[in-house]
Structure 1
Amino acid sequence: MVMEYRADLPPEPFNAGEPALTGGTTTLVEGTTFCLSTADGDIGPGTPHGLFFRDARVLSRWQLRLDGAAPHPLSVSHPEAFAARFVLRRPPAAGSGDSTLLLVRERLVDDGMRETITVDNLGREATTARLDLHVDADFADLFAVKEGRAGRHDRDAVATGPELVLHDRGNGSRGVTVTATAGPDVTPGTLSWHVALPPGGRWTTEVVVRPTAAGDPVRPRLRHGERVETSGPARRIRRWRAASTAVAASDPVLTGVLSRTRSDLGALRIHDPARGGRQFAAAGAPWFMTLFGRDSLLTAWMALPLDVDLAVGTVQTLAETQGTAVDPLTEEEPGRVLHELRRGPDSAAVLGGNHYYGSVDATPLFVMLLAESWRWGADPDVVRSLLPAADAALAWVDRHGDRDGDGFVEYRRATDRGLANQGWKDSPDGVNHASGRPADPAIALCEVQGYVHAALLGRAELAEGFGDPATAARLRHRAGELRRRFAEAFWLPDRGWYAVALDGRKQPVDALTSNVAHCLWSGIATDEHAAAVIRRLAEPDMDTGYGLRTLASTMGAYNPMSYHNGSVWPHDTAIAVAGLLRYAHLPGAVDLAHRLAAGLLDAAAAFGGRLPELYCGFSRDDFSPPVPYPTSCSPQAWASASPLLLVRACLGLSPHVPNRTVTTNPHLPPRWGEVTLTGLRLGPVTARVTAAGERVEVSGLPPDWTVDPARGFEPPAGG
């Protein structure tokens, strides 16, 4: 049966049937499984393309040939993040410009892959064709593929009837089985069909790829003949949409981007069946389809207006992997929150192991998200059960994060196998002076001190909410002292911005970076300093017109085509917008927030409604639309979630379910028109929020709840 795409399904802007160029890479993703191919559906040997399952490439070749030649691509469309339709034709016969043989490949990924191949004879004469599907697997580790180190792997290929079975000789527990309908001739490495079609005739076959893990074939979730809209991934995404908040706006661009956000976050969720289906967001496709402390935490924070369960699942999962011992190889330390989790065949040799802890910011972000989840209505019993993990995280801040006892959290990698930079700008050259000289460790990043400040305040509020006022008072005092000392040590009065860091000699690292905007978001900045930062961020050397540069164009290390030294990261700009609107009472804050938000949405429209991980930081006056970064992940979790943070910040939406209050302070851009959140779950309550400009209405709340539009948007732990 051919997979069908019904025209009577509700439209999804920027999502259903989205056209794409015939060049480039097509990415499909569902949970930890993803597939990279060319836009005609092929996976060629010697490329980074493939079908990846649990951080290993289980297909390194998947090439379809028609009469011995590659079909001509016509189009590719993506009805969902996990499905694609590739439309091709047989090359025209000599002397003819037209073809009468149409070939369609319809692909679905879900713990494996299913591809339905259909051939239609549109001509008036009968025709024959030979189809060959060339298949191979190298079982290479994800990192080896990403870094171009995937060499030839020894594998066994066995053809048994309609099956092709490939096994990794180096790891007998890994393998893949390929089966097909329509009676293929199967040889090691190839499935072949001889097709005869009458005029107007159709022929189809269904090919299923099933990986093997731990020596056992993975139970298939891809049912024979099932249409995309009734498949497992489609059912899961519908449940996600039904359970999560619907966000829409009068502006069709914003509505389309938010629709794509909702779909992509649904596809990037990973469920843990061993723990009751608990969910968290993978960092992004193609290379980061796993749990990442920093990325998963920030994504869950941004997605709180959609679903608090994603945040709860994230903190629960990270609490279970929290460090308990000191291990220089993995950089584990008691209380430290995981940086990333890997399952690939070479994971033990990459960054020290399957569990790697080399992140300086995930630990305070963990405490921040726990407190924010509580405010947004997480089950109080679950939150209470996680308080020991939050206290262990703050103990790490004191005992291991603050390496020299100066009151600031800094990092220095434990061995030369770890990440040299351990903040969100973790590339080797990601932290540097205004001159361009790299900073020397140990490095205390400005935004990390802000996260610690917010974590202390968040834990203080939790202590107060759970009947421990003494702890609340002690932590608030610590937060106040940190804020005071931060202002003294990090402010550069002759520059008008915060140092991006203090280096190993406690000297300011004086480059102007987007990191300083995170200090607005966390609330560690004083009003006086925030006013100066706002003025400086508004200058053309920071604002590209499509978002905020990671490094000002006037700095020595600036390169608009770099990963962290002048590019634009959507999540970074969204955090800046939230920070600016936290200080909306200061001159220029709202105007700059609106300008940055507009730039992000214009960039999203240019990228088909989906914000990539990052893009080049050229000025909009010089390059429009924005220039893609060549290896950017897409979809990528915190980039996908960024539009939600824009909406939340512009609404000034800050619920506090335990106190039965909803605080708002709206500053919506005029071009958005009316913005509506429908089905917003706040603990036991489901509300509706409607806003335009500086007007907001919240309905559906019980009589004992309070809507407070008078207070400024200053939640205790970030915007």
Structure 2
Amino acid sequence: MTQPQNAENIAEPPPAVPGAATVTLIDGTTFCVCAPAGDIVPGGNLGLYFRDTRVLSRWELTLDGRPVQTLSVQPVESYAARFIARRTSADGSDDNSVLLVRERLVGNGLRETISIQNLAPETTPVVLTIRADADFAELFGIDGKQPATHEPGPATVADGTLLIRHRGEASRGLSLTTDTEPEITADGLTWQIQVPPRSTWTTEITAIPIVDDKPVEPRFQRGEPISDTATARALHSWRENSTFLAADDPRLATTLSRTRTDLGALRIDDRVHGGTGAFVAAGAPWFMTLFGRDSLLTSWMALPLDPDLALGTLQALAAVQGRRVDAFTEEEPGRIMHELRLGAHSTAIGGQRYYGSVDATPLFVMLLAEAWRWGADETAIRALLPAADAALQWLRDYGDRDGDGFVEYQRTSERGLPHQGWKDIDGSINNARGEPGQTPIAVVEVQGYAYAALLARAELATAFGDETTASSCRERAATLRQRFNEQYWLPDRGWYAVALDSRKQPMDALASNPGHCLWSGIVDDEHAEQLIAHLGSPEMDSGFGLRTLATTMGAYNPVSYHNGSVWPHDTALCVAGLMRYAHVPGAVETAHRLADGLLDAAAAFGGRLPELFCGFPREQLTPPVRYPAGCTPQAWASGAPLLLVRAFLGLDPHIPEGRLTLTPCLPPRWGTVHLDSLRLGPARLQLSATGDTAEVHGTPADWTVEIRPRQVAA
């Protein structure tokens, strides 16, 4: 097993846009990463991937033995694109007589329609060749930084099909077929074509993975228009069923539109794999799978867009919840999984599952109660209560390693992640001097998550008539909050320690992590004002969002992964926390400023918030500087604008009680925000808000709707 991967140690290509260095197409657990011409060149991380295995490691097209000249890449959808090129001449001069169009889509395989258009007034001979190989490399055996060492599998030709087998497992492979009759050899396909004047010749090729000696069922048919494929129909249905969001502010409107598109692309329908619903994957292309922390936080953020994602995520994670102790995978009873991999061996994470996360477990319980408040099916919620109880038991028996009441982490295998909060790489948790902490470490935000999880379970227990459990959880929460504010607060600094180290000494760096504690509600009011002042200071506010670490800290570096960069999801969670403490001086002003800065950053990135970007001061570098690696799109970055909208709307539904509360306090630049077809339980609502006013239409007659001003400090 190699170390579980994150965006720090895998090169992530940009999205499918004209002129991009690479193009990425995704559909669930199938994705294709290729060059702008559409080629997959051996030796790096390009390829067609299916369930975390590369099933095409070479897919190179030539006309008359020469590469084509790329003219344009046209994105069609997240799962389809067109590559437009022209033939190159033997002497290097421009050749405008032959146009090549490759229309590609993915979905449990790949389908490519190749059209060769003769623009000349006379018949043109063309030799079209596609070289194809498959190395069946596991995803995390490929890092894109050095040539791949996997050998292509053996290939055979039979009945018009090129069949490439896995070198070590004959039951796995890839079949290549076409609707025309090329010459087929072990290394590819060749057509000798005579294209009449002003005419077009076309062929369609399909590449279908083989698992257990059976071809996978593709999500497309031969000759089927892209708009009619199973993938297109599913995405269209989701868009029709999800909330439509609009805003007067063009930055916000564009960003919300991109959010809706990207979260739709990142959805994985777990029913395809025997599950019960849909969940959101962590990011494209390398993390198109279920992640504990990422999927939970994103589905929380996405509640105003699609509340079904929350229940689907909870059910998927409950199905793989820890049952035993395994030091290799870090599985423990009740622990919520960190990462699921679908490859046949998944050697990178010790099998298919890796559990090294300290925060996914309390986040699971928090989301369960939140999904219930938003109207999730009560029977489904009740069925998940044992998983929630097992999660809370894990917090006590395994999460609290020394019995002091706080939740710590320490990996049980050298192959595991060194840090198991959301800042999960070496050096990401340190003191003010920049010295890294030694594990076991109790990071500050996780104590807030644990507090909120206990209150969430108490609320569910009360609703379902279990006052014994409710009382126990509330007592544990009260004790935790008191001890937290005693142990983590640094009176000489005016902020909370980012963590307690292995000696239970406070690590005094000023970081964004305590902002999450505002979101969870564990912060005492007497400390909140000082904390908020520091979060809003120039040392933390980059002008484009909240830095992960203050500029005055020893480890600060604006180009680092966690020590001075800006993560949109981190800023959004802190903004939500600030609005929770709107009654504290400075909270709302800081929240508005951070949100506006983040939307300015989104506008600079074309409406799509990246996973992270560099934390240089706005007055020094504008527009913001992109971080050199990161998922595109990335789930919780895509969900961040939705959390901003919800936080400023004060949108607080409690569908089991038939109650909806709104306390709007929108930033002035936003103008009016509209939510159309907002789904809350059985109802579909229309909501609009401007400043501190709002209107709601479509609520059932027996609901109580309260729209009131937010209590804001003078």
Q: Could you say whether these structures have the same fold, taking a TM-score greater than 0.5 normalized by the shorter chain as the test?
A: yes
Aligned to 1:717: none
Aligned to 2:321: 322
Pairing 1:590–2:588 present: yes
Aligned-pair distance for 1:592?
Answer: 2.1
Distance 1:294 1:390 in 2: 15
Aligned to 1:436: 434
> SS of 1:62's equivalent?
strand
For residues 432-455 of structure 1, give each alpha carbon's deviation from its aligned partner in whole angstroms, at most 9, with x where no partner exists. Answer: 112111100110010000000110
Aligned-pair distance for 1:518?
Answer: 0.6
Distance 1:117 1:606 in 2: 35
1:63 to 60, 63, 87: 60
1:628-707 aligned at under 5 Å gives the runs 628-707=626-705
Aligned to 2:11: none
Aligned to 2:406: 408
User: Contact conserved, 1:364 with 1:455, CA < 8 A, in 2?
Assistant: yes
Aligned to 1:510: 508
For residues 255-313 of structure 1, give each alpha carbon's deviation from its aligned partner in whole angstroms, at most 9, with x where no partner exists. Answer: 22222222221221222235465111111112111111111111110111122211111
1:205-284 aligned at under 5 Å gives the runs 205-273=203-271, 275=274, 277-284=276-283
Aligned-pair distance for 1:713?
Answer: 8.4
Query: Which amino acid is 1:335 matched to?
Result: G
For residues 488-511 of structure 1, give each alpha carbon's deviation from its aligned partner in whole angstroms, at most 9, with x where no partner exists. Answer: 111112222111100000001111
Query: Alignment identity in percent?
Result: 59
1:87 to 84, 88, 108: 84
Distance 1:566 1:180 in 2: 51
User: Contact conserved, 1:351 with 1:419, CA < 8 A, in 2?
Assistant: no
CA, structure 1 residues 345+470, in 2 after alignment: closer, same or farther (shift >3 Å)? closer
Aligned to 1:76: 73
CA, structure 1 residues 595+70, in 2 after alignment: closer, same or farther (shift >3 Å)? farther
User: Contact conserved, 1:160 with 1:186, CA < 8 A, in 2?
Assistant: no
Distance 1:147 1:352 in 2: 21
Distance 1:332 1:585 in 2: 42
Aligned to 2:356: 358
Query: Which amino acid is 1:297 matched to?
Result: L
For residues 375-421 of structure 1, give each alpha carbon's deviation from its aligned partner in whole angstroms, at most 9, with x where no partner exists. Answer: 00001111111111111111111111100010100011112121110
Aligned to 2:19: 22
User: Contact conserved, 1:306 with 1:680, CA < 8 A, in 2?
Assistant: yes
Query: Which amino acid is 1:114 matched to?
Result: R
Query: Which amino acid is 1:65 matched to?
Result: T
User: Contact conserved, 2:255 with 2:602, CA < 8 A, in 1?
Assistant: yes
Distance 1:70 1:472 in 2: 68
Query: Which amino acid is 1:55 matched to?
Result: D
> SS of 1:644's equivalent?
helix
Pairing 1:332–2:342 present: no
Query: Which amino acid is 1:340 matched to?
Result: E
Query: Which amino acid is 2:166 matched to?
Result: D
Distance 2:412 2:233 in 1: 45
Distance 1:684 1:378 in 2: 10
User: Contact conserved, 1:551 with 1:566, CA < 8 A, in 2?
Assistant: yes
Distance 1:564 1:68 in 2: 47
Aligned to 2:9: none
CA, structure 1 residues 213+530, in 2 after alignment: closer, same or farther (shift >3 Å)? farther
CA, structure 1 residues 622+40, in 2 after alignment: closer, same or farther (shift >3 Å)? farther
> Aligned-pair RMSD on alpha carbons?
1.9
CA, structure 1 residues 673+162, in 2 after alignment: closer, same or farther (shift >3 Å)? farther
Distance 1:43 1:177 in 2: 17
Tell me the TM-score normalized by structure 2: 0.94
1:621 to 603, 619, 622: 619
CA, structure 1 residues 373+51, in 2 after alignment: closer, same or farther (shift >3 Å)? same
> SS of 2:101's equivalent?
strand
Query: Which amino acid is 2:404 matched to?
Result: D
Aligned to 2:110: 113
Aligned to 2:3: none
> SS of 1:696's equivalent?
strand
Q: Which runs of 5+ in 2 are unaligned?
A: 1-14
Query: Which amino acid is 1:54 matched to?
Result: R
Aligned to 2:7: none
Larger CA deviation: 460-469 vs 442-451: 460-469
Aligned to 1:373: 371
Aligned-pair distance for 1:540?
Answer: 2.3
Aligned to 1:9: none
Distance 1:412 1:156 in 2: 44
> SS of 1:350's equivalent?
helix
User: Contact conserved, 1:41 with 1:86, CA < 8 A, in 2?
Assistant: yes
Distance 2:16 2:25 in 1: 15
Tell me the TM-score normalized by structure 1: 0.93
Aligned-pair distance for 1:93?
Answer: 7.2
1:468 to 444, 459, 466: 466
> SS of 1:698's equivalent?
strand
1:50 to 47, 51, 55: 47
Pairing 1:31–2:28 present: yes
User: Contact conserved, 1:581 with 1:713, CA < 8 A, in 2?
Assistant: no
Query: Which amino acid is 1:417 matched to?
Result: R
Aligned to 1:15: none
For residues 681-709 of structure 1, give each alpha carbon's deviation from its aligned partner in whole angstroms, at most 9, with x where no partner exists. Answer: 11122211111111111111122211223
Pairing 1:308–2:307 present: yes
Distance 1:64 1:670 in 2: 53
For residues 515-549 of structure 1, give each alpha carbon's deviation from its aligned partner in whole angstroms, at most 9, with x where no partner exists. Answer: 11111111111223221122112222222222211
Aligned to 1:204: 202
Aligned to 1:10: none
CA, structure 1 residues 244+410, in 2 after alignment: closer, same or farther (shift >3 Å)? same
Distance 1:156 1:587 in 2: 69
User: Contact conserved, 2:37 with 2:83, CA < 8 A, in 1?
Assistant: yes
> SS of 2:349's equivalent?
coil
Distance 1:34 1:316 in 2: 24
Distance 1:482 1:578 in 2: 22
User: Contact conserved, 1:166 with 1:177, CA < 8 A, in 2?
Assistant: yes
Aligned to 2:190: 192
Query: Which amino acid is 1:365 matched to?
Result: L
Query: Which amino acid is 2:239 matched to?
Result: R
CA, structure 1 residues 78+127, in 2 after alignment: closer, same or farther (shift >3 Å)? same
User: Contact conserved, 1:62 with 1:134, CA < 8 A, in 2?
Assistant: yes
Aligned-pair distance for 1:711?
Answer: 7.3
Pairing 1:133–2:130 present: yes
For residues 3-22 of structure 1, give each alpha carbon's deviation from its aligned partner in whole angstroms, at most 9, with x where no partner exists. Answer: xxxxxxxxxxxxxxx98342
User: Contact conserved, 1:687 with 1:701, CA < 8 A, in 2?
Assistant: yes
User: Contact conserved, 1:360 with 1:448, CA < 8 A, in 2?
Assistant: yes
User: Contact conserved, 2:16 with 2:22, CA < 8 A, in 1?
Assistant: no
User: Contact conserved, 1:237 with 1:263, CA < 8 A, in 2?
Assistant: no
CA, structure 1 residues 76+599, in 2 after alignment: closer, same or farther (shift >3 Å)? farther
Aligned to 1:534: 532
